[in-house]
Amino acid sequence: MKISILGSGKGSNARYLLSEFKSGKLSKVQDISLFTDSEDSQFLKLASEFRCNAKLVPSPTTSAFIKGQHEADWISTLSGTQPDLIILAGFMKIVGINFINHFDGKVINLHPSLLPEFKGLNAIENAYKAKATRTGCTVHWVDDTIDGGDIIAQAGVQILENDCLQSLTSRMHAKEHFLLSQVVCAIADTHTYKNS
C-alpha cells in the first residue's frame, strides 16, 4: 500500500507514521510520501530526515478551500505517486469535490475531537474552553462535508481538572499518533477502502 500524507504544520503525526514505517511496524506499507501546502511546515524537513519523497504545493490564495487550478494541481501532483491511501494529518485546507471524487474512498482525515462534537478549527481549545470533561480524536473518511464523513475510529481523552491547554494538547497528540497508526495498520492489513 502506498500512502500520501498531507499536512500544513508540525507534522508530529506524519513523523510518528514514518517512524513506525521505518522500523518495520507497518509491514504492508510500501511507501510513504509527504505533501504540504506550506513551506513553513515541518514536512520538507521530515522528508529529508526520513529520506522520503516530499512535495510543496503552495497555495495561491489565503482561502481555506482548494479549488479551480489549485485543485487540479493537487490532483495531478498526488496522482504522480499513485496513492492507495491519502491521509489528511493536520492539513489546514478543505479539499474540493473534484479531489474527493478523483480519489474516491481513499482519503481519510484526522480530527482532534470526538466528532460530531467540535468540528472545524481549534477543536482542542474549543473543548477545553467549553469545560468538557472528555474529548478525543477521530479518523474518518473524507466526503464533501466538513469533518462529517463516516467515522472509522475514535479514541477518548479525559480532560483533567488540573489540565492546561498545553497538557491536554500533548495528551491528545499522543492519542492521535496511536489511533492513526492503528487505523493505517487496519486498512493496510485488510485493504479495505471505503468503496471496496
Binding residue for ligand GAR, selected from 3, 4, 6, 11, defined by CB under 6 A: 11
Is 9 a binding residue for ligand GAR by CB under 6 A? The answer is yes
State the catalytic residues: 111
Binding residue for ligand GAR, selected from 3, 4, 6, 7, defined by CB under 6 A: 7
Q: Which is nearer to ligand GAR, 84 or 176 (CB)?
A: 176
Footprint on residues 124-153 left by ligand GAR (CB under 6 A):
none
Q: Which is nearer to ligand GAR, 72 or 147 (CB)?
A: 147
Footprint on residues 12-51 left by ligand GAR (CB under 6 A):
12-13
Q: Binding residues for ligand GAR, how many (CB under 6 A)? A: 13
CA–CA dist 84, 61 (Å, integer): 28
Q: Which is nearer to ligand GAR, 29 or 157 (CB)?
A: 157
Residues in contact with ligand GAR by CB under 6 A are 7, 9-13, 89-90, 110-112, 123, 176
